[in-house]
Amino acid sequence: MAALIRALRSSSSSSSFTNYVIRRSLSTSASTAAPPLSSETFTPFVDTKGKHVQWVFLGCPGVGKGTFASRLSTLLGVPHIATGDLVREELSATGPLSKQLTEIVNQGKLVSDEIIISLLSKRLETGEAKGESGFILDGFPRTVRQAEILDDVTDIDLVVNLKLPETVLVEKCLGRRICSQCGKNFNVASINVKGENGNPDISMDPLLPPPQCVSKLITRSDDAEAIVRERLRVYYEKSQPVEEFYRSQGKLMEFNLPGGLPESWPKLLEALNLDEYEDKQSAAV
Ligand code: AMP
């Protein structure tokens, strides 16, 4: 982990960035496309303590990366690291960085790669001091440059690309609520969207908070409709190419969410060949 943190820090400085872009363009010119990943061809490497997973969750804003990554991190015993959470922690502090980040986030734009990598390195360092190993990244990488930096410093085993139709994404973002005390995410939206182009209808029940959280619910400032639409536009422009980056390496697993958490969680575990692992973990508790 220490080597990963050092490498991350030095990769984000501009001179070494030029070097690795050159190395990368030399090494990728001879590469060939890898076959797509599916549950038939993917076997997760989970050691007895589940410590060695190095996974990335991709997907549009509101798709549920945080929910699924957080559940998997509990199941596998690896940290769930969401760069959006790191940014929000920084927003709640005082100082010039907080002011600068608030403006960027409230416009639905991306924070610079340098700032994000610095926040991520700090988070990994804190985790390392606590003995963490492995990770599930959520919200990083979000640009091809970030993916290249990550690729240069460590091996990612698997990239899960969560997908939902755009109408559902917008409704989910608008319905998202967070408990200001316990930090848990809820959703007040009741979603029923007709499937288009042969895709099935999608229904999601609201995920309502328990009584003790009801009076403490807050809405993320960037979950306002105009900002959500801008975040989606930025995703298509800057982050969708990251899908192709991992697809060409044969690491991308596409996962179309069939509905809300109760329908999607077992299907996701099946796709990851983790359904039996979860049964064993539950039996051990
Ligand atoms: P999220 O919670 O993942 O939607 O992130 C909230 C906001 O934090 C995003 O809209 C960006 O402004 C910023 N952010 C989070 N992760 C990244 C990243 N990897 N690169 C750039 N900006 C990020």
DSSP SS3 for 148: helix
| Residue position matching structure tokens 């697993």 | 253
Whether residue 105 has its Cβ less than 6 Å from ligand 1: yes
Q: CA nearest 158: which of 270, 57, 32?
A: 57
Catalytic residue among 142, 145, 172, 251: 142
Burial class of residue 140, CB neighbours in 10 A (0-12, 13-18, 19+): buried
- pLDDT surpasses 80 at 4: no
Whether residue 111 has its Cβ less than 6 Å from ligand 1: yes
The model's pLDDT over 78-133, given as tens digits with 9 standing for 90+, comes to: 999 999 999 999 998 888 889 999 999 999 999 999 999 999 999 999 999 999 98
Burial class of residue 139, CB neighbours in 10 A (0-12, 13-18, 19+): buried
Give the number of the atom of ligand 1 that is nearest the alpha carbon of residue 105: 12
Q: What are phi and psi of 191, to 5 degrees?
A: -110, 130
- pLDDT surpasses 50 at 275: yes
65 part of the active site? yes
Whether residue 87 has its Cβ less than 6 Å from ligand 1: yes
Q: Quote the ligand 1 centre to 85 CA distance (angstroms).
A: 8
Cβ atoms 57, 136 nearer than 8 A? yes
Q: Of residues 201 and 18, which shows the higher confidence score? A: 201
Give the number of the atom of ligand 1 that is nearest the alpha carbon of residue 101: 12
CB atoms within 10 A of CB 189: 18
